[in-house]
Amino acid sequence: MSRDMARNYIGGKWCDSAAERLDVRDPSTDEVIGQVPLSSSKEVEAAAQAASDAFEEWRETPPVVRIQYLFRLRELMEENYEDLARTIVLEEGKTLDEARGEMRRTIENIEVAAGTPSLMMGRNLEDVARGIDEEVVRQPMGVFACIAPFNFPAMVPWWFSPYALATGNTYVIKPSEQVPFSQQRIFELLHELDLPPGVINLVHGGREAVEALVEHPSIVGVSAVTSTPVARHIYAKASAQGKRAQCQAGAKNFIVVMPDADLGRAVPGLITSFFGCAGERCLAGSVLVAVGDVYEPLKERFTAAARDLTVGNPMDETVQMGPVISQQHRERVLAHIEAGLKEGARLILDGRAVSVEGCERGYFLGPTILDDVHPDMSIAKEEIFGPVPSLMRVGDLSEALDIIDRNPYGNAASIYTSSGAAAREFKYRVRCGNIGINVGVVAAMAFFPFGGTKESFFGDLHGQGQDAVDFFTEKKVVISRW
Ligand code: NAD
């Protein structure tokens, strides 16, 4: 497992960076597991140049040949599955099962991208006028880049990069500086493929590297997955230069439970949604909205199930929730709880004092539930990104829909109900990119588009599947007469 110095991978070679380094810590123990360079704009320039130099030859490589590399990468990922999952756990802190799930989703995107020769096919019509044919063809555009967040260190760059490569573009990945080693490990596997140098490159770093990527003239588009202020900034900067940009951003997800919901089936889904990945996923539930009479039984069963969760070292197979990513983030989540209490919310489950034997310095926070939350409180409006659900009580579905509508984010929302009419009303009215009906974590499979609306997404084409192929290609119409 790579646990020392994260290195850049540029033009098919591992490169030591001369830049300032940051310590990378295991969130379960606070131990330093390695260092990451905050690469300079010069190093980004070298990666962009290598990708640009590789482009002409790569675009001329037939798609059926390009996807052979993806098949082989898929096999290498399967062979190294457990090692990759453990690398994710080590640097991110999610549980082993959650990390295995992340690797599965990573591989699924590679599998779907291997269908690119079909997804990329153009269309044609003979005799648009007598003796004249018209066709539309798709072509790759050049060098694209991905700017990734900490919470899915392996998967997020692979929502985009397999499609970019299969369609004939070349690529630069910049992982989050908090979790450099999962991509490092994936690039060790990529290195075994003998791809032409420069087709895919890895640059570690922070803000300077991001700015340099977005500004670089050879980079024609970016896929960013970040908090909302960063996404808005990257989108504005990239699009002002005429670049393509798809920027997936923050979230505040509401889950509505109707009085007719089957709580026996709903509660396990709710627990996974609010506490899975310690609440650090853009699809995590954040506000639990109880409609009418369901409030009391829902509160009781949800709180009891949350209290039973095993918090601990995520490398332990029996543990159900690991730490949050950093001490700084833990303090941010605690500040949200404090703000909620000041605004009048009530703690009905307090996980702030949780302690894990053998991991006393880890960034743990037990399940924490705030009740009596009102829509105008900060905890009901702002992204928390931790295991801290807010419980809210409303009179009817229409009131719940109005609250969701007023929230600036639009990543995901779910309803638990046994009424087709309520489910239909919800699906029809809620303006979110991902809607769950009796499903709490609305994670689109790789052959569906993935992205949000409102302040959760800046751009138009989403990640994954056909949307990704559209994002990475431009269309030309050819009209011919012979
Ligand atoms: P972040 O915004 O702090 O960092 C994400 C990336 O942006 C990193 O690579 C980082 O180096 C870079 N970055 C940070 N600050 C920057 C700045 N000022 N200028 C330029 N670049 C900067 O986010 P994070 O804490 O790593 O990840 C969590 C956030 O990502 C949450 O808001 C979460 O909702 C969001 N997210 C969204 C999705 C989605 O699909 N919508 C998926 C995963 C995570």
Give tens-digit pLDDT for 413-450: 999 999 999 999 999 999 999 999 999 999 999 999 99
Tell me, using a 6 A CB cutoff, whether residue 246 lines ligand 1. no
Residues in the chain: 482
- Please tell me the distance from the alpha carbon of residue 12 to that of residue 447, in angstroms, as a whole number: 30
* Tokens coding 278: 């310690």
Q: How far is the CA of 157 from the centre of ligand 1 (A)?
A: 13
**4-249+456-481 against 253-437: fold identical:** no
Question: Is the distance from the beta carbon of residue 102 to the nearest atom of ligand 1 less than 6 Å?
Answer: no
Query: 118-131, pLDDT tens digit by residue?
Result: 999 999 999 999 99
| Residues 17 and 37 sit within 8 Å (Cβ to Cβ) | yes
- Per-residue HEC secondary structure of the chain comes to CCCCECCEEECCEEECCCCCEEEEECCCCCCEEEEEECCCHHHHHHHHHHHHHHHHHHHHCCHHHHHHHHHHHHHHHHHCHHHHHHHHHHHHCCCHHHHHHHHHHHHHHHHHHCCHHHHCCCEEEEEEECCEEEEEEEEECCEEEEECCCCCCCCHHHHCHHHHHHCCCEEEEECCCCCCHHHHHHHHHHHCCCCCCCCEEECCCCHHHHHHHHHCCCEEEEEEECCHHHHHHHHHHHHHCCCEEEEECCCCEEEEECCCCCHHHHHHHHHHHHHHHHHCCCCCEEEEEEEHHHHHHHHHHHHHHHHCCCECCCCCCCCCECCCCCHHHHHHHHHHHHHHHHCCCEEEECCCCCCCCCCCCCCCCCCCEEECCCCCCHHHHCCCCCCCCEEEEECCHHHHHHHHHHCCEECEEEEECCCHHHHHHHHHHCCCCEEEECCCCCCCCCCCCECCEECCEECCCCECHHHHHHHCEEEEEEEEEC
Confidence of residue 256 (pLDDT cuts 50, 70, 90): very high
Verify whether residue 282 is a known catalytic residue. yes
Residue 1 has pLDDT above 70, yes or no: no
Region 392-403: what's the mean pLDDT?
Answer: 98
Strand-strand pairing, 132-140 and 473-481:
antiparallel
pLDDT tens sequence across 166-175: 999 999 999 9
Residue 465, pLDDT > 50, answer yes
**CA–CA dist 144, 159 (Å, integer):** 13
User: Degrees (nearest 5) of the Cα angle 215, 217, 222?
Assistant: 60
Both tokens of residue 398?
Answer: 């229409």
385 lines ligand 1 (CB under 6 A): yes
Average pLDDT, the chain: 97
CB of residue 456 inside a 6 A radius of ligand 1: yes
Correct CATH for 253-437 of 3.40.309.10, 3.90.1150.10, 3.40.630.30, 3.30.230.10: 3.40.309.10
Query: Measured in angstroms, how far is the CA atom of residue 230 from the centroid of ligand 1?
Result: 7
Percent of the chain having pLDDT more than 90?
99
pLDDT (average), residues 335-347: 98
Q: Residue 316 — pLDDT band, cuts 50, 70, 90? A: very high
Count the Cβ atoms, other than its own, within 10 Å of residue 111: 14
Check if 386 has its Cβ closer than 6 Å to any atom of ligand 1. Answer: no
| Domain spans, the chain | 4-249+456-481, 253-437
Q: What is the pLDDT of residues 29-56, one digit of tens each?
A: 999 999 999 999 999 999 999 999 999 9
Residues linked to residue 321 through DSSP beta bridges, in sequence order: 311
Measure the CA–CA gap between 15 and 195, rounded to whole angstroms. Answer: 17
Nearest Cα to Cα of residue 70 among 156, 184, 224, 189: 189
Measure 424 CA to ligand 1 centroid, in angstroms: 33
Residue 93 CA, ligand 1 centroid: distance in Å: 17
What is the number of the ligand 1 atom nearest to the C-alpha of 450? 40
**Annotated catalytic residue within 247, 282, 359, 432:** 282
Judged against a pLDDT cut of 70, whether residue 260 lies above it is answered with yes
Residue 358 CA to ligand 1 center (angstroms) comes to 31
Q: Is the pLDDT of residue 230 over 50?
A: yes
Domain 4-249+456-481 has CATH 3.30.1510.10: no
Could you tell me the pLDDT band of residue 4, with boundaries at 50, 70 and 90?
confident
Read off the tokens for 359: 């991991």
The residue whose CA has the least distance to atom 8 of ligand 1 is: 176
CA distance 81 to 86: 9
| CA distances from residue 449 to 48, 165, 446, 467 in whole angstroms, order as listed | 27, 18, 7, 6
Q: Please say if the pLDDT value at position 2 is more than 70.
A: no
Query: For a substitution probing ligand 1, which of 20, 88, 182, 227 has the most ligand atoms within 8 Å of its CB?
Result: 227
Ligand 1 atom 34, closest CA: 250
What is the number of the ligand 1 atom nearest to the C-alpha of 248?
41
Q: What's the pLDDT band for 3 if we cut at 50, 70, 90?
A: low
Tell me the C-alpha distance between 377 and 344, whole Å: 8
